[in-house]
Amino acid sequence: MLNLQQVHQSESSPALFLLHNSFLSPHGNSSIPIRSWTVSGRRKPNGGHVKSISNNIRASVTKTTTEKAIKVKGIVTVKMTVGGILSNLGLTRALDDITDLARKSMLIELVSSEVDPKTGKEKETIKDYAEWVSQKDQEVKYECEFMVPASFGEIGAVLVQNEHHKEAFFKDIVFNGLPGGPFTIPCDSWVHSKFDNPDKRIFFANKSYLPSQTPNGLKKMREEELTKVRGNGEGERKTFERIYDYDVYNDLGEPDKSDELARPVIGGPVLPYPRRCRTGRERCIKDPLSESRSNDMYVPRDEAFSEVKQMTFSVKTLRSVLHALVPSLETSLIDTDLGFPYFTAIDSMFNEGIEMPKIKKEGWLFNGLLPRLVKAIADGGEELLLFETPELLDRDKFSWLKDEEFSRQTLAGLNPCSIKLVKEWPLKSKLDPKIYGAPESLITTELVELQIKGMMSVHEAMKQKKLFILDYHDMFLPYVNKVREIEGTTLYGSRTLFFLTEDSTLRPIAIELTRPPNGNKPQWREVFTPSRCNATSSWLWKLAKAHVTAHDSGYHQLVSHWLRTHCATEPYIIAANRQLSAMHPIYRLLFPHFRYTMEINALARQSLINAGGIIESSFTPGKYAIEISSVIYGQEWRFDMEGLPADLVRRGLAVEDPTAKHGLKLIIEDYPFANDGLDLWDALKTWISDYVNHYYPKPELIESDPELQEWWTEVRTKGHADKKDEPWWPVLKTPNDLIFILTTIIWVTSAHHAAVNFGQYHYAGYFPNRPTIARTNMPVEDPTEQQFKRFLERPEATLLECFPSQIQATKVMAVLDVLSNHSPDEEYLGGELEPSWAEDPIINAAFERFNGRLKELEGIIDAKNADLNLRNRAGAGVVPYELLKPFSSPGVTGMGVPNSISI
């Protein structure tokens, strides 16, 4: 063993660290460092979420005392990575081999929870270099050894310094030899190379502490860690960094590339929006307010998808679709305006496929795509894009034509969040009539009463809460003329009215489409109604439904999906990492629900919501998509209405009733999204209540928790800065306040997202059911004689021309297939006990109750779907409503509620 002076020298002078004579030393000298200890980390709330700390925490072994010490052995598990320290690629490989042979792979230090009773300062850390000992499958083991004095106290954290030239993915560190048995610090985190950043990483132990309860030995480290992760708001962020900061959406356009790709800054007083993660890239030349784009969007390192995950991981597959499949499709289908000539041509995508040039496979990035979408043709030449038959089409090929299915999907389809109770009659626009024309709707009392065949008056229908509406009139009307300037698309303001029948189903009774005045053209509007007797009216009704479903598809993707889940959640994640320590119990509760969201959002900015991306090129309302979502955010988004109960009450779909289940009475009793959602909301709220009340037994602990208060303040004032002065933000003074806030956030990241995401291929994979865009005007809007004649002669062709083009449809279908997919490593709500929760018996028991309740819900949902009296979720050819069934197997299953927005 080296003497203490040698240990000190080896720490500051790597050149003095000698190697075995067979490798380097001509004199046969060899030396092995003494083993010692220290701890750090911030990755998983289970004990390992990782943040950097200042490297001024030194730990040299200088004690000469003879007090008894315990020998503790540490086993560090590092996962094999693509391009990481264990890769065979890169010029630094040889240097890292030398480092391994020199037994200086990783420096591990143990941190005591206690301070020195004599000095009142943090105790010196105990450290040792972890040495490579074995490799099995995709994991490599390193070993370190420490002599821990009896007076060291409880281990509170571990510090890690990666001596390699590349980052490493740490799984966990297990310590054996302690009196209480094995002690594990989970990491599940990237540890940067010290050559990129000399600061050590810290992994806290599993025990959670409020700020006021922090052990004295960890207080300084807790504060320094949070300071580091906030950064200074300057410079361009590097890949290995873990800096969380805010910025506006100013990187969606590419003005330097083309004026057509210029986009306004989204976020601010003109176009309010939630904030994204700051990347700090250079500004554009033509528009200094916009940030330049990059192929690699920065996200803090531990927010990025781990390369060690399954190769079928959905986002890796999505990258393949966007960067390999879509370009190949665009090469094959050169005519971007080409539609489908017959419905049989649409059907052929599911049974014959589309021939296309052989795709350039990007190594392991492409592997997950092959089994489901792309099939190699036997002769090895061309390849085949062959789509799986969507559930809707498989159960009933003609269901998309039925009014019953059109109505059912407003309650049990992809977008069950838009249907509203009609609360005012007559229907009337709130837009300026001088600009947009007459505000009164053409859906009159007489028309409604005719459609419901005299069953009751409109007054009685209103009183009995029988009239419901999909209202995209005022929302889209200001953009109609702008969108119509885009070649190959069109837009209307629309209203769709439904009548609630005695069997709790909706029946559509009228669709109104409106075009505002434009130059010399006056306002145009017309009402379309179902017709079984008049062939012309029947086809016009089908076309009107196509326009409305395109509007609903756009709203679903831009608002119900992107804005209300992905976009609104990113500020919660940034604020939590900036203000809540990894050892904070609320951080540890939230962490599983933030997994990979920032990475998928960055990918969306890169290829989905960007100028010319999938959304703009294939969805209503084209290049104005994100701008419209900003307008809707400004007008409609309220945090206090994002939870399910409040949302239902706001839309008039429920009323508060203390005697009813969940405290709410549903206006439409058979409303699958609400029925299953309220069961899940209550289970979630009970679990969160148990958790919060355990850590905050007294209300005053909430207001006196500085980290918690700063987190909630920053969510409001920085993350959602454009709404910081709104009076509806919940206050945070009591445990009940915190329970409501946390239940709302976790509901959005889990159940709400699952309800609007994982059924996308089931319902929209057959695009006639949910066209994403309408390309042509109604044939009765200012038609030429020739156009109207063609409609009369071939109405089917007119409908097909209105639908998305072949390239639009196939691109969207490929993307939706991936977005609807559960990866093999998916983490489901209530499915996995976090290590930090297992640490506390009370929290452990509460989670087990939560898990048990969710398993019960699985059976309850199955029973509902077998009840033929529930016509909105059961019946011949009906897709059962399973989107809120908590658990799922991998693949496109149309069920399963993951913890987080990870795809």
The DSSP result for 206-266, as a single string, is S----GGG--HHHHHHHHHHHHHHH--S-SPPPTT-----EE-B--S--TTT-GGG----B
Q: Which of 164, 192, 556, 566 is catalytic?
A: 566
The answer to whether 71 touches 14, Cβ cutoff 8 Å, is no
- Whether residue 196 lies inside any domain: the answer is yes
Specify whether 720 is catalytic: no
pLDDT at residue 335 in the model: 77
Q: Which of 174, 205, 236 is the last residue of a domain?
A: 205
Specify whether 359 is catalytic: no
Distance CA 837, CA 454 (A): 60
Q: Which of 561, 593, 752, 822 is catalytic?
A: 561
pLDDT at residue 358 in the model: 66
Please write the tens of the pLDDT for every residue from 799-846: 999 999 999 999 999 899 889 989 888 899 999 999 999 989 999 999
Q: At 47, is the pLDDT very low, low, confident or very high (cuts 50, 70, 90)?
A: very low
pLDDT at residue 334 in the model: 65
Query: Is it the case that residue 136 has pLDDT exceeding 60?
Result: yes
Distance CA 303, CA 596 (A): 5
- Whether residue 192 lies inside any domain: the answer is yes
User: Cis bond leading into 264, ω under 30°?
Assistant: no
Q: Which of 804, 829, 848 is the last residue of a domain?
A: 804
Give the pLDDT mean for 614-637. Answer: 96
Query: Is it the case that residue 583 has pLDDT exceeding 70?
Result: yes
Q: How is 322-384 classified by DSSP, letter by letter?
A: IIIIHHHHHHH---TT---SSHHHHHHHHHT-EEEPPP---GGGTGGGTTTTEEE-TTSSSEE
- Whether residue 818 lies inside any domain: the answer is no
Query: Is it the case that residue 586 has pLDDT exceeding 70?
Result: yes
SS3 at position 654: strand
- Whether residue 380 lies inside any domain: the answer is no
Helical packing angle, 568-579 and 706-714, nearest 10° = 150
Reading the block at residue 380, the tokens are 């090895």
pLDDT at residue 733 in the model: 97
Distance CA 615, CA 623 (A): 8
pLDDT at residue 557 in the model: 97
Residues 6+ positions from 578 with CB-CB distance below 8 Å: 226, 229, 230, 244, 245, 711, 714
For the chain, give the mean pLDDT: 87
pLDDT at residue 317 in the model: 67
Please write the tens of the pLDDT for every residue from 531-567: 878 999 999 999 999 999 999 999 999 999 999 999 9
Please write the tens of the pLDDT for every residue from 386-397: 889 999 999 999
- Looking at the structure of the chain, the number of domains it has is 2
- Whether residue 155 lies inside any domain: the answer is yes
Q: At 39, is the pLDDT very low, low, confident or very high (cuts 50, 70, 90)?
A: very low
Q: Which of 46, 601, 610, 757 is catalytic?
A: 757
pLDDT at residue 89 in the model: 34
Q: Which of 142-146, 164-168, 218-222, 237-241 has the lowest mean pLDDT?
A: 164-168
Specify whether 899 is catalytic: no
Q: At 889, is the pLDDT very low, low, confident or very high (cuts 50, 70, 90)?
A: very high
pLDDT at residue 122 in the model: 95
Give the pLDDT mean for 134-156. Answer: 91
Reading the block at residue 560, the tokens are 């119900």
Q: Which of 780, 804, 828 is the last residue of a domain?
A: 804
Q: At 7, is the pLDDT very low, low, confident or very high (cuts 50, 70, 90)?
A: very low
pLDDT at residue 498 in the model: 98
Query: Is it the case that residue 597 has pLDDT exceeding 60?
Result: yes
CATH of the domain at 428: 3.10.450.60
Please write the tens of the pLDDT for every residue from 85-101: 444 333 344 555 545 55
- Whether residue 489 lies inside any domain: the answer is yes
Distance CA 498, CA 4 (A): 83
pLDDT at residue 158 in the model: 96
Q: At 337, is the pLDDT very low, low, confident or very high (cuts 50, 70, 90)?
A: confident
- Whether residue 97 lies inside any domain: the answer is yes
Query: Is it the case that residue 19 has pLDDT exceeding 70?
Result: no
Specify whether 176 is catalytic: no
Query: Is it the case that residue 599 has pLDDT exceeding 50?
Result: yes
Distance CA 772, CA 750 (A): 25
pTM for the full predicted model: 0.90
pLDDT at residue 372 in the model: 64
Reading the block at residue 28, the tokens are 């046969």
Specify whether 865 is catalytic: no
**Residue predicted with more confidence, 51 or 641:** 641
- Whether residue 829 lies inside any domain: the answer is no
Q: How many CB atoms lie within 10 A of CB 616?
A: 21
Query: Is it the case that residue 377 has pLDDT exceeding 60?
Result: no
pLDDT at residue 60 in the model: 35
Please write the tens of the pLDDT for every residue from 505-519: 999 999 999 999 999
pLDDT at residue 333 in the model: 73
Dihedral, 420, 425, 426, 432 alpha carbons, nearest 10:
-70
Give the pLDDT mean for 244-270. Answer: 97
| Nearest CA-CA partner of 798 in 544, 602, 556, 511 | 544
pLDDT at residue 13 in the model: 32
The answer to whether 276 touches 563, Cβ cutoff 8 Å, is no
Q: Are strands 664-666 and 420-421 parallel, antiparallel or unpaired?
A: unpaired
Distance CA 449, CA 443 (A): 10
Q: At 477, is the pLDDT very low, low, confident or very high (cuts 50, 70, 90)?
A: very high
Q: Which of 49, 164, 753, 762 is catalytic?
A: 753
Reading the block at residue 881, the tokens are 């409503």
Q: How many CB atoms lie within 10 A of CB 488?
A: 14
pLDDT at residue 385 in the model: 81
The answer to whether 735 touches 291, Cβ cutoff 8 Å, is no
Query: Is it the case that residue 191 has pLDDT exceeding 50?
Result: yes
Q: Which of 356-360, 612-616, 745-749 has the lowest mean pLDDT?
A: 356-360
The answer to whether 448 touches 510, Cβ cutoff 8 Å, is yes
Domain that holds residue 483: 418-556+770-804
DSSP H or E stretch at residue 859: helix 841-865
